[in-house]
Amino acid sequence: MLRDLATVLEDLHRGIQAAADRVHSGVRITHAEMTLPVDTTLVLKDGGCVLLADVARNPADAQWQASPSRLTLVWDEVPTEALP
């Protein structure tokens, strides 16, 4: 079932955070990058257009497409305060 792209991104980010929390050796993730196959579709909703997406659950799910969609995400640590 496809979901709002924002929801998918939030779930992926929570997964990265959970992985970092499981490491109890003082390791801190400052950069994470992933490329995933995704299923996407545009739908008209509430007078606008919404991008629905989800990570392909099974490699066979996207084999009918000549070129399956890919989503590349990069999370980097960014300072929240101005540097002196």
Q: What's the pTM? A: 0.71
Look at residue 83 in the predicted model and tell me its pLDDT: 64
Give the DSSP letter string of 22-83: H--SS----EEEEEEEEEEEEEEETTEEEEEEEE-SSGGGGTTSSS-EEEEEEEE---SS--
pLDDT digits (tens, 9 = 90+) for 25-46: 667 778 889 998 888 888 998 8
Confidence (pLDDT) at 45: 87
